[in-house]
Amino acid sequence: MDKIPVIQKRNKSKIKSRKMASSSQDLLDAQAHVWDHILSYINSMALRCAVELRIPDAIHKHGKPITLSRLAEALCINTAKTNGLYRLMRILVHSKFFDRVIISEQEEREEAYSLTRASRLLIRDEPLSLVPFALLGTHPVFIEPFHHMSEWLCDECPSAFFTKNGMDHWEFAAKDEKWNQGFNEAMAADARFTSSILVRDCKHVFEGLKTMVDVAGGTGEVSKVLAGALPWLKCIVLDQPHVVAGMEGSENLRFVSGDMFEFIPPADTVFLKSIMHDWGDEDCTKILGKCKEAITHSKINGGKVIIVDMVVDGEKQAHEATKSYLVFDIFIMANFAGKERTEKEWAELFAAVGFKNYKITHTLGLISLIEVFP
C-alpha cells in the first residue's frame, strides 16, 4: 500500500484544526447569545433606575453636557458609589439613551454626558414625556406575571396576570386606586404622544366628521388634543366609572361612564386607540359589533371606525421593528389575554362583524391607523 504523502497529512491536520476552532467559536457565540437573553432584563431595569433617579432631568437642567462628578452631585449619589453611577451610565450610553462627549473643564478635557432624542422623552416636564409609561412598563405588577408564564400555559386562566393575581388587570385596577392612577397616567402620556402625531400627519382622516366617541379613552388625552386641533369635532370619552370620575369636559368634549361591551353612544366615528390588542378575538368581535351599531345612523357616508393599533407583518418590516412587535405581543399575552394582530387577522375580525372595507395607514411608527367602513 502506498504511503500517504506528508503534505496530505498536514493538510488534513489543518482542516481538522480549523473545524475544531470553528466548533469552539460556535459554542462560545451560542453561550454569549444565551447569556445576553438571560440578562436582557438589565436593559429595562437600568432604564427604570435612570428614570427614578431623574438622570435625564438633571442633564437637561444643567443645560449642557455634564461630567460624572457633577451628575453624581446633582443626584445626591453616595460618593462611595460614584463608580456604580459610571457603570450605569456606561450601559445607558451603549443603549443610546445618552451620548458621551469630550468637554473642556477648567483647562482639562473630561468626558461628559448629553441627552439623546430618546432620553429627551424621559424628561418629566416635557409635553410628550413618556416617564409614566416607562415606570408602568417596568413595574413589578407587570413584571411578576412573567414568573408564572410556564404555569399559565398549563392552567385554565386567561393570562399569566390572572394566574398571579386571581383576577384580570381591569378588576385589579378597579380595586387598587394607586395602580389605577399610575396606569391612567401612563396611558395619558402615550395618548398625548400619539395624538400629537395624529393631528400633525393624519388630520385628513377626521375631515368631514362631526362627532366622535373615544372608546375606553381614559382621561381623554387623545380627545383633548383632537378637540383642540379640530374645532368642528365634538368628542365623547367613554370609559369605566372609576376612570372618568371627576373628569371635566369642555364645549366640544364630554365624559360618559359606561361599558363598551354593553353600549357605545351614536357618532360619526368610533375611535379605539390601543384597545383591541387587550382583548381576544371573541371580545373584539363584541366591541366591533357595538362600534358598528354606534355609527349606523351617521349621515357622514355611513360613518367609520378608526383603530390605532399594531399591524404585525414580519416579512415586510425591519428586523428591529419585528422584534418590538414580538416583544409587545408577549407583554400583552402575559398581562391582558389579548394579542398583536397581522393584517389578515384584522381583516377576519372586520369581516366577522360585517364591515365591508378597511384602509391601513402606516404613519405612526410601530403603530398603524386603520379606518374600517360598514
| Phi (first) and psi of residue 363, to 5 degrees | -125, 5
Q: Tell me whether strands 269-273 and 211-215 are parallel, antiparallel or unpaired.
A: parallel
Q: Tell me whether strands 341-342 and 357-364 are parallel, antiparallel or unpaired.
A: unpaired
| Phi (first) and psi of residue 266, to 5 degrees | -60, 145
d(CA 245, CA 239) in angstroms, rounded, equals 10
Contacts of 222 (CB under 8 A, 6+ apart): 191, 194, 195, 198, 214, 271, 273
d(CA 333, CA 371) in angstroms, rounded, equals 25
d(CA 54, CA 75) in angstroms, rounded, equals 8
Q: H/E/C letters for each residue in 152-217?
A: HCCCCCCCHHHHHHCCCHHHHHHHCHHHHHHHHHHHHHHHHHHHHHHHHHCHHHHCCCCEEEEECC
Element (H, E) at 11: helix 6-38
DSSP 276-303: GGGS-HHHHHHHHHHHHHHHTT-TTTT-
Q: Mark whether 148 is an active-site residue.
A: no
Question: At residue 311, what is the residue type?
Answer: V
Query: What three-state secondary structure class fits 256?
Result: strand
Exactly one of 277, 297, 319, 362 is catalytic; name it. Answer: 277
Q: Please count the CA atoms within 13 angstroms of the CA of 98 that sit on its side-chain side.
A: 31
Catalytically active residues, by annotation: 277
